[in-house]
Amino acid sequence: MWQRAVELVTQVYRVTPDFPDSEKFGLVSQLRRADVSVPSNIAEGQGRLTGGEFNQFLGHARGSLFETETQLVIARNLNLVSKAKFERLNELIDEVGRLLNGLMRSLRSEK
């Protein structure tokens, strides 16, 4: 899951240089920051001592994933990202989301 989240970040970083300079401190910055938070929170949660703490950080990662998805929809609506690139990024978002949800469900059932 962490690996797929890192792959998503890598792909976002490859797409955002194509955005106009006027978005450098706007949508590009927001999108990158939200996206980097996904694997970062997964990693930080993994380093915690309890499953509850891990689950909390996975929730933060999930929230950042939704934020990433929203910002990519906005970028697509503004024609800042091609349909093909958007679809590939959206597939990664869906995959990471499914993995996060599954792990969170698993941690909750361990209680």
Number of domains, the chain = 1
Query: Can you read off the two tokens belonging to residue 35?
Result: 């996206």
Alpha helix (H) residue ranges in 47-82: 51-77
pLDDT digits (tens, 9 = 90+) for 27-62: 999 999 999 999 999 999 999 878 889 999 999 999
Q: What per-residue confidence (pLDDT) applies to 17? A: 96
Q: Which two tokens stand for residue 13?
A: 């970083």
Return the CATH number at 78.
Answer: 1.20.1440.60
Chain centroid to Cα 83, Å, comes to 19
Domain that holds residue 98: 2-13+22-109
Indicate the pTM of the whole model: 0.94
